[in-house]
Amino acid sequence: MKAKNKTMFVVSVFFALMFLLANCTPKASTQAAEVKTSVPSRAALDKILAQGYFTYGLEAQYRPFEFRDEKGNIVGYDIDIANEIGKRLGVEARPVDTSWGAVIQSLYDGQFDFILGGMTATEERYKRVDFSVPYMDASSGLLVRKDSGIKERKDLNGKVVAAGEGTPSVAQLEVTAEELGIKYADEIKTFDDDASAYEAMKTKRVDAYASSMVSLLEFAKTAPEFTVIPFKSERWAAEYSVAAFRKEDVALRAIFNGLLIAMKEDGTLGQLQEKWFGMKSDVPNVPPTW
């Protein structure tokens, strides 16, 4: 697609999407009101179109969302999604491997254009970024050894528990202790990446590791001594994987949402889910808000 035609296409799609997104949100919000009454910022989108590529932040240690293959290349579900988005937008997609604990700050520091790294939408994160429409179920699970005796949440009493640094699982473990009146053997341990957590599990320094169900199931395939149990409570809502954008980048987020919804409708997203997770995930077409 030629640059001029590509820009005209993006502009027309953008304003159509802004109309749809402003009128399909199930509840009135400050953000929706701003979309209806102001001209959305196009700076980030214009920069991407001019330079011919976008960058997105992730931590390449979160299989199967993103990880490095035997040649050191970053591959995974998010990589395929980004490449398809880039193809449809007419630009190149470039991943940026970064520290997940500081990924939102890195976004605002300008290290990449948006976050696409298996992020779970949470109220706390929503204070700093705006989310895309969901693109995968992110329900939580607990990785435990099969001989640990841990069958449900209450069995975590007196156990050493852990979660990824900066993930919703930390708060979920805190809620679990308060809700069930149990006490862990030590403070909740946190890890910078899953690989370190899995090693701690193998050496029995940790009894249970909380993370997304799909990523834990992927690891359990390679380690038969482990199993994954659901980690659910009425105290936390349904969980979804989303991309995250700076609050001011309304136009970029709108274009991303429109292309992602098109991928859902034409079956592309389902095919990628089957490829990386062995199943399809039915997720809503409305971005999570609080």
Count of domains for the chain: 2
- Residue 238 has a pLDDT of 86
Q: Extract the tokens encoding 36.
A: 């209806």
Gyration radius of the chain's alpha carbons: 20
Residue in 91, 137, 108 with CA at minimum distance from that of residue 239: 137
In the block, tokens 């308060």 appear at 178
Residues 119 and 225 in one domain: no
C-alpha–C-alpha distance, residues 88 and 16, integer Å: 17
- Cβ burial 250-275 (10 Å sphere, 16+ → b, else e): bbbbbbbbbbbbebbeeebbbebbee
Q: What is the pLDDT of residues 151-163, one digit of tens each?
A: 999 999 999 999 9
Residues 146 and 248 in one domain: no
Q: How many Cα atoms occupy the beta-carbon half-sphere of 143 within 13 Å?
A: 32
Residues of the chain with pLDDT under 50: 1-9, 11-12, 15-16, 18-39
- Residue 40 has a pLDDT of 54
Residues 17 and 127 in one domain: yes
Residues 188 and 246 in one domain: no
The CATH number linked to 202 is: 3.40.190.10
Residue in 158, 161, 107, 145 with CA at minimum distance from that of residue 129: 107
- Residue 2 has a pLDDT of 43
C-alpha–C-alpha distance, residues 127 and 16, integer Å: 27
In the block, tokens 């050493």 appear at 160
Q: Which domain holds residue 266?
A: 3-138+239-277
Specify the pTM: 0.74
- Residue 237 has a pLDDT of 83
C-alpha–C-alpha distance, residues 126 and 116, integer Å: 15
Residues 109 and 176 in one domain: no
Residues 157 and 25 in one domain: no
